[in-house]
Chain A
Amino acid sequence: MSNTRISVSVQAEPFDAGPLMAQLRAAGAGGIANFTGIVRGGNGLSALEIEHHPRMTQAALEQIARDAATRWPLLALTIVHRFGRLDLAAPIVFVGASAVHRAAALDAVAFTIDRLKTAAPFWKREHFTDGKSAWVAPRPADHASAARWD
């Protein structure tokens, strides 16, 4: 039975990685790893819009977190994922893990971010400076990254 302290938040509001990192401090921890995904500019992008399935996203992220906690001996794991309209350079997603040893923390973060790209019901729409917009197509590379943990 895993004793990992799991925290999952699906929210419209921005987040600050600092306090999230502080929450991951745990007795006995030897390291805290984290990843923050942000809205990447370029190619005329003006904003990103993220739609989600409100009744399913929380449970999907909690399931991914439990899977990570089953695979690695984690002390704590935090996932924050935003939805709604996000400006350039705005934070989209945070994944952080603390563990006794660094390998578990680093691998758990990589696993979690790879998994949530293909297994949590979020969909991105790109808005461009010329007024056009388009749904983001799933990237084969993302599926390959997720599959390497199977």
Chain B
Amino acid sequence: MSDHRPIRIEYFAKFREAMGRSAEDVALPTAVGSAGMLVEWLRERDEAGHATFDDSVLIAVDDVMAQADTSLDGATSVALFPPMTGG
């Protein structure tokens, strides 16, 4: 079993601007097993991630709204976005 898995991370709205890209493909350590752990991993990876993601971040795993403890098993994409302001 590999100790990394490929996953696509997408950023929206102010997170997209802060990260300077709309998406990236990463090799995620298998130990990063939940949506919340992925956010923490991004915060620790570099300064941009640390400055960008706070407690307000909303997470979708494979296009379904997720919680911090949502498993990433079998997931192919994670979307991170700020609170919604539609309507």
Chain A residues within 8 Å of B, Cβ to Cβ: 37, 50-53, 55-56, 59, 81, 92-93, 113, 116-125, 135-139, 142
**A145 → chain B closest CB, angstroms:** 10
Within 8 Å CB of A51, what residues of B? 12-13
Within 8 Å CB of B85, what residues of A? 117, 122-124, 135-139, 142
A121–B84 CB distance below 8 A = yes
B84–A138 CB distance below 8 A = yes
Give the interface SS of chain B, mostly helix, strand, loop or mixed.
loop
Closest B residue to A137 by CB, please name it: B85
Given A51-B13, A53-B60, A56-B63, A123 contacting B82 (CB threshold 8 A): yes
Within 8 Å CB of B86, what residues of A? 50, 52, 81, 93, 116-117, 120-124
| Chain B 1-30 interface mask (CB, 8 Å, partner A; 1/0) | 000000000001110000000000000000
B interface, size bucket: 10 to 19
Tell me the B28-87 residues at the A interface (CB within 8 Å): 60, 63, 79, 81-87
B84–A56 CB distance below 8 A = no
Within 8 Å CB of B84, what residues of A? 117-123, 138
In the bound assembly, the distance between CA atoms of A136 and B82 in angstroms comes to 11
Within 8 Å CB of A53, what residues of B? 12, 60, 63, 79, 81
**A147 → chain B closest CB, angstroms:** 14
Closest A residue to B16 by CB, please name it: A51
Within 8 Å CB of B14, what residues of A? 123, 135
Which of B60, B81, B82, B87 lies in contact with A117, CB distance below 8 A?
Answer: B87
